[in-house]
């Protein structure tokens, strides 16, 4: 019905390319979009979790809570920015695939040729006697009539049926090529979140002012007060020990 109602006005024996493009776009939207976004989200979460775990394990930063929190926050911001940029690029690829199905891959033409003869080959093969190891006598006239009948039935199919079958062949062949291209391209873009993280993180940290760094590595005031108090006690004890030593 889809083929019949969208048959082109000019040269109606050919497949309507707009129908092909619409089917491809619908397939991408229904079947490819969700796993693509899931892959992007998963990559983003893995990178953010890995960065946070790495920062928490840094022995140099562990004594400085404010510094650790700052690094984790900045890492999350970097991952978020990279995720947004990656999503934009991925959506561009998706839209391009939806709006402009294209390939010059020779596998497309090879697969179409195979699919075109596949159904008739199956029918002819099923019409032949089974090879069970015994000698089988085949009447040439009967075999010829059987094969001729198969091709006759194929010729009696309507133009719409032939066009629908041809459309299915084109979709199957193109789908294999396009899906392979999609599977290769999208993960390569998503993994750039991890590849570009260090560069972006270093760039942000290089903009941190000296005052901010000093604030991050300075102990909290209550900790400083405790340290000063302990220092004074230690000095008092030391003077006491010296005084006792002088008595003896």
pLDDT more than 90, % of the chain? 23
Q: For 123-165, how does the pLDDT look when each residue is reduced to its tens digit (9 = 90+)?
A: 888 888 777 666 777 788 888 898 889 889 888 888 778 878 8
Lowest mean pLDDT among 23-37, 65-79, 122-136, 229-243: 229-243
What's the confidence (pLDDT) of residue 105?
Answer: 81
The answer to whether residues 103 and 173 touch, using CB atoms and an 8 Å cutoff, is no
pTM: 0.68
Task: Pick left, alpha or beta for residue 14 (phi over 0 → left; psi -120 to 50 → alpha; otherwise beta).
Answer: beta
Q: In whole numbers, what is the pLDDT of the chain averaged over residues?
A: 82
pLDDT more than 70, % of the chain? 83
Contacts 24+ apart (CB under 8 A), 115-121: 115/168, 115/169, 115/172, 115/173, 116/166, 116/169, 119/165, 120/150, 120/151, 120/154
What's the confidence (pLDDT) of residue 92?
Answer: 93
Q: For 29-62, how does the pLDDT look when each residue is reduced to its tens digit (9 = 90+)?
A: 988 899 999 999 999 999 999 999 998 888 877 7
d(CA 124, CA 46): 54
What's the confidence (pLDDT) of residue 48?
Answer: 94
């Amino acid at each position: 019905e889809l083929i019949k109602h969208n048959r082109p006005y000019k040269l109606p024996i050919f497949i309507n390319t707009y129908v092909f493009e619409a089917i491809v776009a619908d397939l991408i939207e229904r079947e490819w979009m969700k796993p693509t976004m899931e892959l992007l989200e998963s990559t983003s979460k893995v990178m953010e979790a890995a960065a946070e775990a790495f920062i928490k394990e840094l022995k140099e930063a562990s004594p400085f809570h404010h510094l650790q929190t700052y690094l984790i926050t900045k890492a999350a911001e970097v991952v978020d920015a990279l995720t947004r940029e990656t999503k934009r690029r991925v959506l561009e690829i998706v839209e391009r695939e939806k709006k402009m199905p294209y390939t010059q891959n020779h596998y497309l033409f090879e697969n179409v040729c195979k699919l075109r003869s596949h159904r008739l080959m199956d029918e002819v093969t099923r019409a032949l006697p089974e090879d069970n190891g015994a000698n089988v006598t085949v009447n040439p006239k009967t075999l010829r009539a059987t094969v001729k009948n198969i091709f006759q039935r194929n010729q009696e199919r309507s133009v719409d049926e032939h066009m629908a079958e041809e459309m299915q062949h084109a979709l199957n062949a193109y789908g294999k090529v396009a899906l392979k291209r999609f599977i290769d391209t999208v993960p390569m873009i998503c993994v750039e979140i991890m590849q570009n993280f260090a560069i972006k993180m270093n760039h942000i940290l290089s903009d941190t002012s000296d005052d901010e760094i000093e604030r991050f590595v300075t102990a909290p005031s209550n900790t400083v007060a405790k340290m000063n108090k302990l220092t004074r006690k230690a000095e008092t004890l030391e003077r006491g020990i010296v005084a006792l030593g002088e008595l003896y």
